[in-house]
Amino acid sequence: MAKETLIQHNLADYNIAVQTIKNAILRSQYQAAKLVNREMLSLYYGIGRYVSANSRKGFWGTNAIETISERLRKELPGLKGFSTTSIKKMRQFYEQWEPVINKSTAMAVNLPLTTDEININSLLCVVPTATAVDFNIEEFLEISFSHHIEILNKVTDIPTRNKYIHIALDQKWPAKRLREEITKNAAEHYGAITSNFGVTIKDSRDAIKALNMFKDEYLLDFINTEEIGIRDLADIDERVVEKEIIHNIKKFIMTFGRDFAFVGNQYHLEAFSEDFFPDLLFFNRELNCLVVVELKTGDFKPGYLAQLMTYLRILDDKVKKPHENPSIGIVLCKTANKDFVEYVIQDYAKPMGVATYRLSEDMPKKLREALPDVEELKKLL
């Protein structure tokens, strides 16, 4: 018996040791990956600077970049990432960001622009100035080159580019997801939800997380009213929207944000023999709380907040675990007067926000016309 106890004790120790070492390895790999990314971005910036200086001022002849790319592949067999297109992207990366970096930061080392050398540490030597409030060099160096190119190709103004860098990093978006979100003008809506988070969430860090987690408008473009037999948008009701969301729950969660787990729809709540059925219930790992969503197909009405307040009270009293944060409620309606919502929401003691949504039919006509017809797609498939 003593021997078995000793074995079990040793196994427990081994499990702890394995998990401890594993966590250290994962942390180290993450740090190594971050360092590699920083060095790669600095290398690309340096190469872009060199290529720009030589190609833009006529030092090189026509098709020089194509020739250099081909020669590089011969000199370094197996080399990837230095195609003609990639080298031009490096030039674009440098030319688009050089004015911003020089304006917003101070170089630790004076690096004159030359045409015969490449400084691979250009970005690593950047030191932010005291006035560089809109440019975060650390965040800039943490997203991949692919992320940067997606942003440069689709966003022109610097503040919005900086916002996409921050959001992509915060939301852990892959480059493909970033491209999709830029198409939806996601930066315009992140952190803009009308809410009372600032006064109802005690920890300011959690309040900021909640603000950044929710958007003020969601595009539910996976709900096609023509496909489900509704010709007039006025005829659509909450149950139809709810049914389509449940049918496309993965797409909805991708639209709603990260770290959401679906708990249920028409989730049964009971208090003092009174029954309630909130439309959608989620759990968010980042916020460590339940999130209840009420769907409304018309204009915002103050009574929706009172209804939501009831749900949040019961959830916190009867469903929330002791280690979880207070539940958050979101009213998702078709339209809302933001000034009016801000006026009435501050008197509620539970954290809640009001956002709006658009369906595919609400998209601009030109954009809808550019999308393939559902029936044509069915024929092709």
pLDDT tens across 25-65, in order? 666 656 666 678 888 888 889 888 888 888 887 677 778 88
Per-block mean pLDDT, blocks of 10 residues, the chain (381 long): 52 59 61 75 89 81 84 82 90 93 65 64 77 76 94 92 89 88 82 87 87 83 54 57 78 81 92 93 93 90 94 96 94 91 92 86 46 41 33
What local confidence, expressed as pLDDT, does residue 230 receive?
46
* pLDDT for residue 64: 85
- Position 113 scores a pLDDT of 52
pLDDT at 125: 81
| pLDDT score at 367 | 39
Residue ranges covered by each domain of the chain? 2-142, 208-380
Q: What is the pLDDT of residue 118?
A: 82
Residue 272 φ/ψ region, left for φ over 0, alpha for ψ in the -120 to 50 degree band, beta for the rest: left
The model's pLDDT over 3-27, given as tens digits with 9 standing for 90+, comes to 555 445 555 555 665 566 566 666 6
SS (H, E, C) 270-312: EECCEEECCCEEEEECCCCEEEEEEEEEEECCCHHHHHHHHHH
Instruction: Please give the pLDDT value at position 341.
Output: 93
What's the pTM?
A: 0.60
Rg (CA), the chain: 26
Query: 208-380 is classed in which CATH architecture?
Result: 3-Layer(aba) Sandwich (3.40)
Report pLDDT for 131: 57
Q: Tell me the pLDDT tens digit for each residue of 163-177.
A: 899 888 887 889 998
Quick one: pLDDT at residue 115?
A: 54
According to the model, what pLDDT value does residue 256 have? 81
CB distance 70 to 88 below 8 Å: no
